[in-house]
Amino acid sequence: MSTDETYEPVIGLEVHVHLLTRSKLFCGCANSFGAEPNNNLCPICAAMPGVLPVFNREVLEIAVRTGLAAHCEIALRSVFARKSYFYPDLPKGYQISQYEAPLCVGGYIDLPINGKTAKRVRLVRIHIEEDAGKNIHAADGSLVDLNRSGVPLLEVVGEPDIRSAEEAGAYLRELRDILCYIGASDGKMEEGSFRCDANVSVRRRGEEHFGVRTEIKNLNSFRNVEKAIAYETRRQIEKTSSGQRVLQETLLWDPDKEATRPMRSKEFANDYRYFPEPDLPPLIVEPELIERVKRAMPELPAERRARYIDQFALSPYEAEVLTSDKELSECFESVLKSGAPDLSSPPPSAKLAANFLITEALRQVRAANRPINDVFNATDIRGLLSLVEGKKISLNAAKTVLPELVLGQSSRGNPHLAQQPGGARFDAEQVVRRFGQVSDEAAIAAACDRVISAEPAKVAEYRAGRNQMFGFFVGLVMKAMGGKANPQVINEVLRKKLAAD
Ligand code: ADP
Ligand code: MG
Ligand code: ZN
């Protein structure tokens, strides 16, 4: 029996999420990414002596919304606590967090696979805390940037319910999507606004007790989380199966070496000497607030996926890809809804729009590395797909035109794009002039008739069972139409005509 059949990993994730508030958690400084170092700073978040924190109410509503979206119980009374540790980017010498009495308790995240809930990962808690600043290590010394000091965070602590690196990735993606849908976070792992620590242990399958765990830090992309967990699982299984012990320690993921390495040996939580924060009153949540937030809850990713399958008959895969990005799914719905279709073509079907977006459009979005709203105008895509739906141009022609609809690029030299402020715009008439095809059934039928009567011997062969000759007739009809006929219509008409004798 292989070690993978004997052992299984047990994984619990702790996720830190920057909240999209205007100001910081306990002061009025701006909560914005990318400012000049030490520009978002005041005596409170710089920890001058004698200052007092004031709780930012904006945080409460977002935190409650997050808790409700994750099915948590919202505590009507929660308590801030001081978590003491020393680090240059933490000038107070402690971080204000929540410890014994967090705002959100319990809850769960359901992971989708093929449109079904494949797995439920329970949550321990979600609590509010402030972020620390940032140490910047340069060649000639270290610098401290306190812009991030006091930025509001939620820490989402998961139960150790995850059993593989892939499940960990799916959990993080679903959690990020939920946070983006409810406007709690921008979910940008690369910018540190969505950070994850992974706790990993292994045990014999069938065993109830958990093994000794390590905690991996510095995971700044979904890929790295999955790689680090897979690496750490393997390392621990090798140790355990050869009779060695796994040490409880904190590890750092080294993305270049693709390996974990020890950071510091970790003592236990009482090291932090948690005690209730004396400068802040308990956080009281009015039940009316909970009700109001519940009523205003936007559609969540799982609900949107189910709706797409139900309302638009999309496949679970299509629904999953479209909803995995809030902007992409909004673009999809705009393509179905927006503006009057051009040249009296019908609006695109949901299936056509879904497939075109998740293949062609997404390729352009990834290449441009910008949000889809920056790359495309939904009305342009709708216009283009309307022409396909109305058989005025082929799908291939639409694929050819799409890259030229990317916004913000010059439309000079593109004959079928109208020059407009803000970039290229779809111009249906020009596209049809260039790529237009004849879908007129009567004209195609006449061409089919001509071809059939000109080739009696070949037609007889075909009717005697040589089905592979079909393409030969399609070619002749296409030639007769000057290459401008819709191949799908030729296929349909020709098949009928050749079948009849
Ligand atoms: P700490 O306060 O040291 O971070 P917690 O008990 O709060 O410890 O657990 C933190 C995280 O570790 C949780 O996400 C939990 O699911 C996970 N965890 C706890 N025990 C294990 C284990 N044996 N194996 C894997 N993950 C674990
Ligand atoms: Mg921890
Ligand atoms: Zn401040």
Identify the sign of the CA torsion 19, 23, 29, 32.
positive
Q: How far apart are CA 195 and CA 115, in angstroms?
A: 27
The ligand 1 atom at the shortest distance from the C-alpha of residue 160 is 16
Those residues whose beta carbon sits under 5 angstroms from the ion ligand 3 are 27, 29, 42, 44-45
Residue 211 CA: which ligand is closest? 1
Q: How far apart are CA 213 and CA 13, in angstroms?
A: 12
The residue whose two tokens read 């940008």 is 188
Q: How far apart are CA 474 and CA 460, in angstroms?
A: 16
Instruction: Indicate the pairing of strand 7-18 with strand 152-158.
Output: antiparallel
CA 215 to chain centre: 25
pTM over 0.75: yes
Question: What is the chain's pLDDT, residue by residue, as a tens digit (501 residues)?
Answer: 567 789 999 999 999 999 999 999 999 999 998 899 999 999 999 999 999 999 999 999 999 999 999 999 999 999 999 999 888 899 999 999 999 999 999 999 999 876 566 799 999 999 999 999 999 998 999 999 999 999 999 999 999 999 999 999 999 999 999 999 999 999 999 888 999 999 999 999 999 999 999 999 979 899 999 999 999 999 999 999 999 999 999 999 999 999 999 886 554 445 889 999 999 999 999 999 999 999 999 999 999 999 999 999 999 999 999 999 999 999 999 999 876 655 567 889 999 999 999 999 999 999 988 889 899 989 889 989 998 898 888 888 889 889 888 887 544 444 444 445 455 577 877 777 777 777 778 888 999 999 999 999 999 999 998 988 999 999 999 888 877 788 888 899 999 999 876
* 3-state DSSP helix/strand/coil % of the chain, to nearest 5: 40, 20, 35
Rounded distance from Cα 58 to ligand 3 centre (Å): 15
CA distances from 194 to 18, 186, 187, 360, 409 (A): 6, 8, 5, 28, 31
Rounded distance from Cα 290 to ligand 3 centre (Å): 28
Rounded distance from Cα 163 to ligand 2 centre (Å): 18
Q: Which of 100, 163, 199 has most ligand 1 atoms within 8 Å of CB, for mutation?
A: 199
What is the token pair recorded at 11?
A: 């994984």
